[in-house]
Amino acid sequence: MSERGQSLFGRVAAKVRREVPVEQIRPVLDAGGGAYEEIVAADRLRTDLVSAGLSPLTMSPAESGQLLCSWVAYALQSLADAFVEAEERSGPPPSPGFLTAVTADQVRLIAVAVPPWIARARRAAADPGYDVAGDVPLPATLPPWVQVEPCPLSHPTGMRNAAATMFERRQLAMADFERATSSHAGVQSDMRARVAALQALLDATPGSVRGSLRAREHEAAEVALRELVNRCFELGQMLSRPRLLRGRSRPPGRTAPQPPVPRRPVADRPDSFYGHHAGYDHHGGHQRSKSRAWRSTTTSRMKPRRTVAAPQGSELSSGGAVGGHGPESRQHHEHRE
């Protein structure tokens, strides 16, 4: 078959398998390319501040915020790029120059989150009074994972490669952290333990998943790799802003997140080449299980409710060992009498 015939056959096969041309994904990836420049600038800033006698414990909110935002942008961009690179090397399928539909969806979800973090990093670099904790909850969470059973075999490879890249980059930050926090034994010990545990998990996690694995084993490997990526992602944020070791922070006025509703399968979504999309997990949306008609018939029978307000307080005192973000308000759920 001629090269032209092979190309035509490949495009037809890709269309049948609902594959997505890489060119359609490239613009959203390119939009986050500045993340690599920001992490280099952040590494340089951290080294300069440590050399001047500061540490992540004593940096200003803007300085630690620049480090954190640059890291989040870099980690997300690295993860998106790793998914694409792993799939390009694993095919066919997919056909050369194409991605599976589930990979294209996953890359989009990750990549669109990068530019806002680049913007926050640049604002922190330019505005000494800016604190990212006033804008978004910290530590930042990963975008939702696209659910498909089984996932493409390229996904475990991409996640393992991305986790290794993140961990290697944070080793440089850990060296500066050790040098700058010698007088804070408790914080230093906590961070060392986290790094050691993550190193052990990384060493024990395989870099690929065999196609011969049973569905349950395949799913278990995928879950372990997602946890590995998530822990690397959070470790980088804690090295940038160690006060996060004491717990999550939310911008003033934001309430605690609601417990997730159990996810139900989406019955009307078409089959994909690799299985059935069942929606998003982790931080994605959930379907409502009760109809409007049911609510309308039960509302009239509900007893009056009262609101119980929780006392306000700050996550950490600004005069503590590691500083704080300022006041944070929380609100209790409403309770029936």
Highest mean pLDDT (candidates 60-64, 87-91, 276-280):
60-64
pLDDT at 207: 65
pLDDT score of 256 more than 80:
no
Give domain status of residue 45, yes or no.
yes
pLDDT score of 336 more than 50:
no
Question: pLDDT-derived band of residue 293, with 50, 70 and 90 as boundaries?
Answer: very low
Cα–Cα distance, 143 to 108 (Å, whole number): 10
**φ/ψ (deg, to 5) at 225:** -70, -35
Residue 94: domain span: 8-252+267-289
Q: Do 120 and 249 form a contact (C-beta atoms < 8 A)? A: no
Cis peptide before 139 (omega within 30 of 0): yes
Number of domains in the chain: 1
Give domain status of residue 310, yes or no.
no
Model confidence pLDDT, tens digit, residues 65-74: 999 999 999 9
Cα–Cα distance, 180 to 184 (Å, whole number): 9
Q: Give kind and range of the element (H or E) at residue 276.
A: strand 275-276
**φ/ψ (deg, to 5) at 122:** -70, -35
**Pick from 277, 284, 278: nearest CA to 261:** 284
Q: Do 111 and 77 form a contact (C-beta atoms < 8 A)? A: yes
Give domain status of residue 334, yes or no.
no
Residue environment code for 155-179, b if the CB has 16+ CB neighbours within 10 A, otherwise e: bbbbbbbbbbbbbebbeebbebbee
Identify which has the larger pLDDT, 87 or 71: 71
Model confidence pLDDT, tens digit, residues 310-319: 444 433 334 3
Model confidence pLDDT, tens digit, residues 157-205: 899 999 999 999 998 899 999 988 887 888 989 999 999 999 999 988 8
Mean pLDDT of 275-280: 40
Q: Which long-range contacts (CB under 8 A, 24 or more apart) does 89-93 make?
A: 89/154, 90/152, 90/153, 90/154, 90/157, 93/13, 93/17, 93/19, 93/273
Cα–Cα distance, 255 to 258 (Å, whole number): 9
For residue 212 the two structure tokens come to: 């011969």
pTM of the model as a whole: 0.70
Q: Do 148 and 275 form a contact (C-beta atoms < 8 A)? A: yes
Give domain status of residue 324, yes or no.
no
Give domain status of residue 18, yes or no.
yes
Give domain status of residue 207, yes or no.
yes
**Pick from 62, 230, 254, 229: nearest CA to 160:** 229
Give domain status of residue 307, yes or no.
no
Give domain status of residue 302, yes or no.
no
Cα–Cα distance, 191 to 203 (Å, whole number): 18
Cα–Cα distance, 252 to 14 (Å, whole number): 49
